[in-house]
Amino acid sequence: MRRKEQTSDRGILKAEMGMRNFALMRYNPSTALAPYIEHYWTVQWDLRGQPPFSQNVLSYPNINLSFENESGRRFTGVYGVPRTIYTRHLKDTGMVLGIKFRPGGFYPFSQQPASQLTGQTVPANQLFGESISHVEDQIWEQDSGEQMAQLAEQWLLTRLPSQPDPNTQLVNDIVEAAISTRELTQVERMAVQFNMSTRALQRLFSRYVGVSPKWVIQRFRLQEAAELMENGGVTDWITLSQQLGFFDQAHFIRTFKSLIGQSPDAYRKETLL
């Protein structure tokens, strides 16, 4: 297993501050699992003698399977795509091994619409049975995050779908287009680009992703806005809102504040402290 090269921390709000309180590592999946899994990740922290820390995440449209150990308390769960901002509270000591499935990558393993998991955290044994309990026990006997990820991968390989699902790649292509193409700001245009009706696109996202195409487009634009603010790349709100495809400055500010919980101006000022 190979450690993943440094990637953007977009989505981890005020990431520089967060990295002072926890260590984040990522590992690549094998070729067989790469169509379904973006990467494995570990987060480890030791805050003994320090105040608890809360990390806010503006999540990507990915389902995660997490093996968690916080001061000896274990939990293994499937996290659907959060509807709003996700906050993780860290205290004392702990470690998490996560499996970040690609958008659409979890459905071939569960055969349940991803929308049923949206905004939910479900104990993993409800979806995978008791076999995952044995994997959990083995994972916490390992000495490193890399070894933990290798064990999780071995278990996933035993559950690999017998036939590739073409919709998995299609969904990944659509989501990648939403990430990389600023001009792709309308669901109708997304549907035309991928030669399907708007309704078919919405049904596809409900089953495989768990959130709507509009949600995905807006989420990526807001992630980009937060990253630009943290890196000092914002000149004015009018220009930024136009670049990110919002109707006007007021629309951008309202949307940002409703999700992040503070105005863009207040957020930018905090990142400069």
Spell out the domain ranges in the chain.
15-157, 166-271
pLDDT of residue 6: 59
Annotation: CATH topology of 15-157: Immunoglobulin-like (2.60.40)
Q: For every one of its 273 residues, what pLDDT tens digit does the chain have, with 9 covering 90 and above?
A: 677 765 667 788 888 888 999 999 999 999 999 999 999 999 999 999 999 999 989 888 999 999 999 999 999 999 999 988 899 999 999 999 999 999 999 999 999 999 999 999 999 999 999 889 889 999 999 999 999 999 999 999 999 988 889 999 999 999 999 888 877 888 999 999 999 999 999 999 999 999 999 999 888 888 888 888 887 777 678 888 887 878 788 888 888 888 888 888 888 887 766
Token readout for 252 is 């951008």
Neighbours of 72 (CB within 10 A): 9
Neighbours of 161 (CB within 10 A): 13
**E strands in the chain:** 23-27, 37-46, 53-57, 64-70, 73-79, 86-90, 93-101, 121-123
CATH architecture of 166-271: Orthogonal Bundle (1.10)
State the Cα–Cα distance between residues 245 and 259, nearest whole angstrom. Answer: 17
Longest dimension (CA), the chain: 57
State the Cα–Cα distance between residues 168 and 191, nearest whole angstrom. Answer: 16
- Residue identified by tokens 């709003």 is 84
Amino acid at 38: E
Do 209 and 104 contact (CB within 8 A), yes or no? yes
CA distances from 224 to 29, 145, 180, 198, 241 (A): 26, 29, 11, 25, 11
pLDDT of residue 14: 82
State the Cα–Cα distance between residues 56 and 67, nearest whole angstrom. Answer: 19
State the Cα–Cα distance between residues 109 and 222, nearest whole angstrom. Answer: 30
pTM of the model: 0.90
**What residues are paired with 74 via a beta bridge?**
69
pLDDT of residue 252: 86
DSSP string, 83-103: SS-EEEEE-SEEEEEEEEEPT
CA distances from 181 to 117, 176, 191, 193 (A): 28, 8, 14, 12
Q: Which of 189, 209, 206, 208 is nearest to 198 (CA)?
A: 189
CB-hemisphere CA count at 13 Å for 208? 25
Neighbours of 89 (CB within 10 A): 9
